[in-house]
Structure 1
Amino acid sequence: MDFHKPPHIVLLSSPGLGHLIPIIELAKRFIIHHKFNLTILAVTSQTSHAESQILKSATNSSLYTIIQIPSPNISSLLPTSATVSTRLSVTMRQAIPSIKSALTNTPLPPSALIVDIFGTESLTLAQELNIPKFIYVASHAWFLSLIVYSPILDKQIEGQYVDQKEPLKIPGCKPVRPEDLIDSMLDRNDSQYKESLIVAEKFPESDAVLVNTWDELQQREVKALTNGELSGVLKVPVFAVGPLVRQPESETGQLKKPVIIQWLDKQPRESVIFVSFGSGGTVSYEQMKEIAFGLELSEQRFIWVVRASTGGGVDTAFFTTGSSSFNDELDEIRKHLPEGFEERNKKVGLLVQNWAPQVTVLKHPSIGGFITHSGWGSVLESITNGVPMIAWPLYAEQRMNAALLVEELGVAVRTTVVPGKNVVGREEIASLVRNVFLLEQNGKRNHVRERVREIKISAEKALSQGGSSYTALSEVANMIVHKHRFY
């Protein structure tokens, strides 16, 4: 190993935009601020158009090398009813031989390996190479606390978690209500629960854990993990290095302004509600109709990213091939919208099929609110652009995220019923939209709008030189450099 060259970090991403994008953004921070060499090993889903577009753009980057690893065929290993979480875990386990081959054949010898939460079983490969190994949690510190503590909860609590009368207590953290639990903990008999425990038990085998939040945002949880009640459970350091989010130029790849941005340019400041449920979320056609009526009733301008319902659950678009043609899918969506909806709203609304350049949209001054599935990446993109949210959680850890946004951070409002399991009515949707856009409520300044702007400033400080997240990532870089020099 040439110790005079900068360290070479290899980052491993599991399939899906929600995993790939945070890995890419972490890579950029190491390159820009520490001049490291970077290789990204991306296990691909081979079904997501948005993921393929991001990979295409990333492959052309001069900053880092990206190596795509096709997902192994796991159809014979799992029933068709297996959850997304289970499929990801099994996919990454079966991909280990390919990951090992890619890791040991990179142009430069690796100096460290960083894996996402579904890649924890690949930590053994770093052990074999005697290089530092890290887990990057692209979510928040409360989520990390629940994962870390879950093996203890598994021993403490009998029966199903969802049947508990009291919230689940996590030392040093806000308790988690049964209805806000992550998907993998909803049924302890399901394979995804067993897979989540395997992930949790791998954390102490790392050299440190990176988490996509910042100290000032979640001081209590970060303290519990670093030197508080949970540090003895985790047994390795935790570094809050966020918020790591995309920049607009990294998602469009176009010289010409997209149509969606041209449309936004013509709208008044903070007048548009953006509606998007992420790259893997769908809603039923019944719910789609209620959203349409709700947007109309709110009398607010809107951009709505629509996706045909898969009929198989709110997260099944994650592994959907999208074999139908563009026009067929759009025709199917239109059949389920209220009659005359598009015609009545052509001056104040824009329907976009399947995907939009979300960061570019959220950064636009015409955007004043965001109806979001509450995926942590989307949440951070909204916060860092000062956009208040209507939390519409669908799957994974999104119910937990929504509780954090509404009850702890005060940057969002949420529906009275859990979306996905229930249909949210048009009147409630209209009311939530109107409330987010009000400058004042009951004679007082709108707390949600004020709070998200405060947190935006906090995020900028954390990432700036000398800020908490900048310093935390520098400490991780120093750990890698030290091992690189004295290996």
Structure 2
Amino acid sequence: MVVDAKKPHVVVLPSPGIGHVTPMLELAKRLVIHHSCHVTFLYITTQASAAQTRLFHHLPPGLNVIDLPPADVSALISDETPYLANLCITIRESLLCLKATLLEMQKPHALITDLFSTQALDTCKDLSIPFYVFCTTSALFLAFSFFCALDFNQHDTFAPVPGAFIHLPGCAQLRKEDLPFTNSGNVDEWHSDHLRRIIMADGILLNTCEDLEPEPVRAMQEDSFFKQIPMPPVYSVGPLVKETEPITGNGEECLAWLDKQTPGSVLFVALGSAGNLCAEQLTELAWGLELSKQRFLWVVRPPTGASGIDSYFKVGCADADPEAYLPKGFTERTRELGMMVASWAPQLSVLRHKSTGAFLSHCGWNSSLESVSHGVPMIAWPLCADQMMNATFLVKDLGVAIKPVVEAGTRIIGRKEVERVVREVIMGEEGKLIRERARELKEIESKVVHCGGKSYETLAHVVNQFVGCVSNGF
């Protein structure tokens, strides 16, 4: 591999999963295009999904992708392995070749991982390579994670108790039912391991900005509680969202269908790279969409268990025909009203399309940022992990989303509630307010990441640090 010696050389290492690869690849592109870096993108091929491979088309000169050899994890994981353990074991085994891979390069100025590839820290220390972490979640989630790791013993349990709160230093109170760590009353061992490494990083890059998340960003930078850790320097360089994406197969059909619709009339329904619903909830969602009589573009997946993460390593694979698991006659009855696609749609292109009026989303951080950056209001439908926290943030703090109410005594959102929120977000008074707020934020966020904006200049400052560290014999 030939590296331009006149440019800073940065290695970017994401975790598997399109939710991690997408923002890390966008960071890599920004470093190349806007900050004159040469970037080597290390791609973990073990369990890579079909959708991930589509991301590597039309890369800019100066951004090279190196596939790390597949690791044999068959004896270490099974269908019963929790997804975070599966992810971390896959990364650990895939990075056994990392030192040799880095030694084959001219010494890079820095290596950047995400929150779940921090096993690279030891190799970076051995080779005296500055180590940075790019947070692909919200700043609020990261602040809460550090709070749990440092202060957890002061609390008896984080089990959901409606109406109860946790006070996060320097931030607003958090509802217990929105917290990601609720199953065992403790932070996951894998997550704790990553947090211990993150605090040894040379810096943390946040995929957000102070206009979006002023309290958690400032808390991690200034609050006395977080200074106990101590936190490495924290830099807001976002929101970084995709600017382009490949359009293939059913993507062209989706956009052609949208071209025929009235501006602002279509609800885009997509629950992320890991989002599946149980059969009962899938049925209620279908009936609600039909009853609303609003136009919709729905990325449909087969029903599954309640984990909400069954498709994590499979996104982009072909699924069964939706007619096999949707209410009988639904496809025919809604033929003139909506369009359904199996498994995947070009989300960026759909969100920026003039016919898209709202987004029913799982509230993953990437999807949330894409929706905000394109001025599209949301129906918040969180499924797992940090999504509950993101959903409340989008509704209460940003004012760009509405959230359906779960039926009392169940975990299901009924069809009449689906009908109500769909009608509201597309044509109601509350929907009008959040549409206006979404447009306001679009204008704000478009400025911070471009030349002269605060996030742009912060990333330029970090690149200068990369160069300085190596020049000073880091």
What range describes the TM-score normalised by the shorter chain of this pair? over 0.9
Moved more, 224-233 or 375-384: 224-233
Structure 2 residue aligned with 1:76? 75
Q: Which amino acid aligns with 2:11?
A: V
Report the TM-score when normalising by structure 1.
Answer: 0.90
Moved more, 270-279 or 309-318: 309-318
Paired residue for 1:157? Answer: 155
* 1:370-418 deviation per Cα after TM superposition (whole angstroms, max 9, x unaligned): 0001111011111111000001111221111101111111110112229
Find the partner of 1:299 among 293, 298, 306. 293
Kindly state the Cα deviation for residue 160 of structure 1 after the two structures are TM-superposed: 4.8
Residue 288 of structure 1 corresponds to: 282
Cα deviation code 1:36-74 (max 9, x no counterpart): 11001121343522122224x26x653411112245333
Query: Are 1:23 and 2:18 an aligned pair?
Result: no
**Structure 1 residue 437 and structure 2 residue 426: aligned?**
yes
Residues 117-196 of structure 1 aligned to structure 2 (within 5 Å): 117-162=115-160, 166-182=164-180, 184-188=181-185, 193-196=188-191
Matched, 1:34 2:30: no
| Aligned residue among 221, 238, 243 for 2:239 | 243
Q: Deviations over 1:219-274 (max 9, x none)?
A: 111111112232442421100111111123x33269x9811111111100000000
Residues 278-319 of structure 1: per-residue CA shift (max 9 Å, x gap) = 111111222121111111111111100011124473211113
- Whether the 8 Å CA contact 2:11–2:112 is kept in 1: the answer is yes
Q: 2:200 aligns with which of 194, 198, 205?
A: 205
Structure 2 counterpart SS, 1:128: helix
1:97 corresponds in structure 2 to 96
Tell me the secondary structure at the aligned position of residue 111 of structure 2: strand
Change (3 A) 1:418 1:143: farther
| Contact 1:148 1:234 (8 Å CA) reproduced | no
Of the candidates 427, 435, 457, which is equivalent to residue 449 of structure 1? 435
1:197 deviation in Å?
Answer: 1.2
Mapped contact 2:283–2:327 kept (Cα < 8 A): yes
- 1:54 aligned to 2:55? yes
1:338 aligns with 2:327: yes
Q: Distance in 1 between matches of 2:315 and 2:204?
A: 33
Q: Which structure dedicates a bigger proportion of its chain to helix?
A: 1
Distance 2:267 2:372 in 1: 15
Counterpart of 1:416? 405
Residues of 2 paired with 1:322 and 1:257: CA distance?
Answer: 12
CA deviation after TM superposition for structure 1 residue 440, in Å: 3.0
Q: Does 1:359 align with 2:348?
A: yes
Aligned to 1:463: 449
Q: Distance in 1 between matches of 2:85 and 2:53?
A: 22
SS at match of 1:67: strand
Q: TM-score, normalised by structure 2?
A: 0.93
CA distance in 2, matches of 1:384, 1:274: 16
Any gaps of 5 or more consecutive residues in structure 2?
none
Quote the Cα distance in structure 1 between the aligned partners of 2:74 and 2:5. 46
Farther-moved stretch of structure 1 (289-298 vs 155-164): 155-164
Match of 1:427 in 2: 416
Amino acid corresponding to residue 67 of structure 1 in structure 2: I
CA-to-aligned-CA distance 1:169-216 (integer Å, 9 cap, x gap): 22101232221111x453246xx7111111112222000000100111
C-alpha distance 259-204 of structure 1, shift in aligned 2 (>3 A): same
| Whole-angstrom distance in 1 between the partners of 2:427 and 2:163 | 37
**What is the letter of the counterpart of residue 72 of structure 1?**
A
Supply the distance in 2 between the matched residues of 1:322 and 1:478 (Cα, whole angstroms): 38
Kindly provide the CA deviation profile for residues 81-108 of structure 1, in whole angstroms up to 9, marking residues without a partner as x: 22211211222222231222222223x3
Q: Name the structure 2 match of 1:368.
A: 357
The CA distance in 1 between the partners of 2:407 and 2:63, in whole Å, is 41
> How far did 1:76 drift?
2.8
Identity level (%): 36
Q: In terms of mean alpha carbon deviation, does 384-393 or 166-175 score higher?
A: 166-175
Aligned to 2:468: 482
Distance 1:91 1:454 in 2: 41
Distance 2:103 2:440 in 1: 45
How many equivalent residue pairs? 470
SS across alignment from 2:116: helix
1:277–1:269 distance in 2 versus 1, CA, 3 Å = same
Tell me what 2:312 maps to: 318
Asked if 1 retains the 8 angstrom alpha-carbon contact of 2:350 and 2:356, the reply is: yes
Name the amino acid aligned to 1:5: K
C-alpha deviations, 1:316-361, integer Å up to 9, x for none? 11134998x75xx11xx31332222112221221011110000000
State which drifts further: 28-37 or 61-70: 61-70
Change (3 A) 1:289 1:241: same
Structure 1 CA distance for aligned equivalents of residues 120 and 89 of structure 2 = 12
Any residues of structure 2 matched to 1:194-273 within 5 Å, and which? 194-229=189-224, 230-248=226-244, 250-252=245-247, 258-273=252-267
Inter-partner Cα distance in structure 1 for 2:206 and 2:385: 17
Deviation per CA, 1:138-175: give whole Å up to 9, x if none.
Answer: 11111110112221232322345446973222210123
Query: Does structure 1 retain, via aligned residues, the 8 Å contact 2:406–2:414?
Result: no
Query: Per the alignment, in what secondary structure is the counterpart of residue 176 of structure 1?
Result: strand
Q: Which runs of 5+ in 1 are unaligned?
A: none
Whether the aligned pair in 2 keeps the contact of 1:46 and 1:52 (CA below 8 Å) is no
* Aligned residue number for residue 11 of structure 1: 12
In structure 1, how many angstroms separate the alpha carbons of the residues matched to 2:216 and 2:400? 18
Shift in CA distance, 393/111, structure 1 to aligned 2, threshold 3 Å:
same
